[in-house]
Structure 1
Amino acid sequence: MFYLILVYLLSATHTVFSESGSHSLWVFATFLTGDSSAPFSEFTAVIMLDDIVIGHYNADERSFIPATVQESVNVTEQMTISTVGKGIHEGMKTKAYYLIDYLNYTRGLHVQQRLVGCELLRDEPGRMMTLEAFNGESGFERRYDVQGDQHTDWKWPVIKSRAQLEYDAWLYAHFYRPLCISQLRTYLKKEQKRVLAKVKPRVRVIKRYCREAGVVQMTCLATGFYPRHINLTLLQDGQPVNEERITGGQLLPNPDGTYQMRKSVELSAEEQRERHTYTCTVTHLSLDNKLDISIEPGPDPVIVVPSVLLLLLVFGLLAAFKIWRKRCSQPEQIIYIPTSAADDQTTEQRI
């Protein structure tokens, strides 16, 4: 479930980190405060390279724990992540308590969330982004683009002075971004086999026919592919089907670390009679060329079995069952092969 949430968040930010050849490093942090009977930690932070979990920050021990138990962590990496994790923890804690007071929350469990990430685009430093939310409501966004321009959007009240805000902006641009880019390069080198792996999608077409309404639902499913970026399109007469008619399209994870996506469109009886041509087309980094699959819009033919043949089939199955039961009622023979030449070969009957 946790992995599914992370993939959803990654998919939700695809407009920022989606270019082919790009890689990103993310920190997903959560701070909990208030009434809670659940055994949750006050602060958790997970570090991800693209969609691979690298490890998490342990707030109790103030240390970085790698996802792979056998993986060693050098002193520099441990100090870097521990320092950043401690800073995020303290910053979120201060802001959460301020918002509880400002919004006049008194009881219940309150959740402060922060998403921080940077990217490399074809080995060149790319953008960096911070998003924050409190109890499910977005309230802060900061973006640092490739040209060095910084954009900050506050929905919550600003609790810092102008000098503090200017210092935060400088720190974001000249410390956190270079640090994030440096750590991203380090992890890319360490995890390049997993990150650069390419698995081709398996594509199939599914048709469902509703006889009462006379509607055919055509679904194009691509599954088992990696990396997660894929372009799946339904075409009518060579042109993309209107997006308003398309259902699905969400990127979903598979248990083996690959992904799946499906898109569906419904065709009325009139559209089926018009005999348009429909195509499911897929492009992916693992494919040399795009994959096109033609779809017949009409329902699949129904095989009607005459009643006489159906009766003969039923009687035949009953006769076969009786013969099988008669055979199985006979004693079963088990032959034991001797372990040496001195042993006698014996036959035992099991009733």
Structure 2
Amino acid sequence: MQHPCCCFLLLLLCLLLLSGTWANLEGTFTIRLLQTSTFQNTSFVETEGLGLLEDIELGSLDKHTWTIHFYQPWVRPSLPRSDWDTIENMIKIYLQQFSHLINEGAMQKDVPYPFVAQCMVGCELYPNWTARSFAYVGYNGQDFLSFDMDNATWVLSQDTSLSRYVQAILQNYTAFTELVEVLFNDTCVDDMELLLRNGKAALERQELPVATVFARTPRPDQLLLICHVTGFYPRPISVAWLQDGQEVPPGPALNTSAVLPNADLTYQLRITLAVAPHDGHSYACRVRHRSLGTGSLLIPWGNSEVVLLAGLGAGLLAGVAMAAIMTLWVWRRRKRQQMEESESRNSILSKEA
């Protein structure tokens, strides 16, 4: 007999990993299937499910109807409608069994309600066609169990009577263990092809980062240089502060935020460097991202701005000087013309006299 939680996750994996032709994509790709079940009491449980390819949401499970909602237009056409109906029916059967099993175990081990059970399974496919598979179980937001694919055993993430009890139950499902080995070590690589092909445009999407450098002065002896980068996709990015052209190494003066999502499905982060005001060094923020190719953004701060302003000032002064020279030349020319005209008139008058 197979454990219901694992059956559900494997079912979702089969749902998302479909056969087809390999897409000409470069890089490493990861599929994650997430399940969160909240047990309020012995008779009420809410379950949510989500499927992700990289950070692209493929679909979710409606917690009220236990039906699948598709988020990408290229996922649903991969299977006939009858197949999706069969999968949804199997999910409903699984959820009923899963809730029964978990409640039964909770009562046997005197687990207090409410509590949350979480599962994450998936695989990571590398460019050389090798793969790493994973399966994790969480309890109340903490790591609980993980599956060792090489040895086909469940490993404790925390050593408690409850975790040992669940580990023993899962380990007794030998049919499930064999299925996991075959599915993750073989099928994951073979059946990811169509999904990657159909989602190629979404996976290859690139958005250029926009970087801004500014400063704050929390106290007179400290200057915080802040580089804010936003609007980029995909998520991986490299942002660093350079001091006199050299990258500032990690340390207490350097603080990098987490990469956070924007509402338009892009990302942002900021990196802050604490320096002493007027320390004589030049600083610049360097940004490297896939959308920039082999190039990078370099946004200077400090001396470079002084040079820029000095250049602007010199340009303005040169313009003013040129205008003054032109004005003086025009005035002198008009003055000379006036004098020549005056002399000419005086000469004419003297002859008439």
Displacement of 1:197 after TM fit? 1.0
* CA contact 2:154–2:171 (8 Å) conserved in 1: no
- RMSD (CA atoms): 3.6
Displacement of 1:55 after TM fit? 1.0
The equivalent residue for 1:325 is: none
Whichever residue aligns with residue 222 of structure 1, its letter is: V
For the structure 1 residues 249 and 69, does the alpha-carbon distance in structure 2 shift closer, same or farther, using more than 3 Å as the test?
Answer: same
1:53 to 57, 74, 78: 57
The equivalent residue for 2:29 is: 23
The equivalent residue for 1:256 is: 264
The equivalent residue for 1:231 is: 238
Displacement of 1:151 after TM fit? 6.9
The equivalent residue for 2:139 is: 134
Displacement of 1:290 after TM fit? 2.5
Runs of 4+ in 1 over 6 A off after TM superposition: 297-300
Look up the SS of the partner of 1:47 in the other structure: strand
The equivalent residue for 2:300 is: 294
Displacement of 1:63 after TM fit? 4.5
Higher relative contact order (CA closer than 8 Å, sequence separation 6+): 2
For the structure 1 residues 240 and 104, does the alpha-carbon distance in structure 2 shift closer, same or farther, using more than 3 Å as the test?
Answer: farther
Displacement of 1:176 after TM fit? 4.4
Deviations 1:92-147 (A, max 9, x none): 5466436634663334x221111112122126142111222111221112254xxx
Cα distance in 1, alignment partners of residues 268 and 123 from structure 2: 25
* CA contact 2:122–2:134 (8 Å) conserved in 1: yes
Cα distance in 2, alignment partners of residues 298 and 106 from structure 1: 62
The equivalent residue for 2:224 is: 217
Unaligned runs of 5+ in 1: 1-19, 301-351
- Give runs of aligned pairs for residues 321-332 of structure 1, distance below 5 A: none
> Hey, which of these two has a bigger chunk of strand by percent?
1
- Give runs of aligned pairs for residues 76-87 of structure 1, distance below 5 A: 78=84, 82=88, 85=91
For the structure 1 residues 205 and 115, does the alpha-carbon distance in structure 2 shift closer, same or farther, using more than 3 Å as the test?
Answer: same
Cα distance in 1, alignment partners of residues 213 and 207 from structure 2: 19
For the structure 1 residues 196 and 83, does the alpha-carbon distance in structure 2 shift closer, same or farther, using more than 3 Å as the test?
Answer: farther
The equivalent residue for 2:117 is: 112
For the structure 1 residues 164 and 41, does the alpha-carbon distance in structure 2 shift closer, same or farther, using more than 3 Å as the test?
Answer: closer
* CA contact 1:209–1:299 (8 Å) conserved in 2: no
Whichever residue aligns with residue 56 of structure 1, its letter is: S
Cα distance in 1, alignment partners of residues 101 and 79 from structure 2: 32
State the structure with more CA Rg: 2
Aligned identity (percent) is 20
Deviations 1:44-68 (A, max 9, x none): 2111111111112347655433125
| TM-score, length of structure 2 as denominator length | 0.64
* CA contact 1:216–1:297 (8 Å) conserved in 2: no
* CA contact 1:59–1:86 (8 Å) conserved in 2: no
Displacement of 1:89 after TM fit? 4.0
Whichever residue aligns with residue 284 of structure 1, its letter is: H
- Give runs of aligned pairs for residues 269-288 of structure 1, distance below 5 A: 271-288=276-293
Displacement of 1:175 after TM fit? 2.2
Whichever residue aligns with residue 283 of structure 2, its letter is: Y
1:204 to 191, 203, 212: 212
Look up the SS of the partner of 1:187 in the other structure: helix
* CA contact 2:60–2:68 (8 Å) conserved in 1: yes
The equivalent residue for 1:121 is: 126
- Give runs of aligned pairs for residues 184-203 of structure 1, distance below 5 A: 184-203=192-211
Cα distance in 2, alignment partners of residues 142 and 209 from structure 1: 50
The equivalent residue for 2:321 is: none
Q: How many residues align?
A: 270
* CA contact 2:30–2:53 (8 Å) conserved in 1: yes
Look up the SS of the partner of 2:208 in the other structure: coil
Deviations 1:186-214 (A, max 9, x none): 2211111111111111111121123x443
Whichever residue aligns with residue 292 of structure 1, its letter is: L
* CA contact 2:48–2:60 (8 Å) conserved in 1: yes
Unaligned runs of 5+ in 2: 1-25, 307-353
Cα distance in 2, alignment partners of residues 110 and 283 from structure 1: 43
Cα distance in 1, alignment partners of residues 251 and 87 from structure 2: 43
For the structure 1 residues 247 and 68, does the alpha-carbon distance in structure 2 shift closer, same or farther, using more than 3 Å as the test?
Answer: same
For the structure 1 residues 219 and 173, does the alpha-carbon distance in structure 2 shift closer, same or farther, using more than 3 Å as the test?
Answer: same
Look up the SS of the partner of 1:241 in the other structure: coil
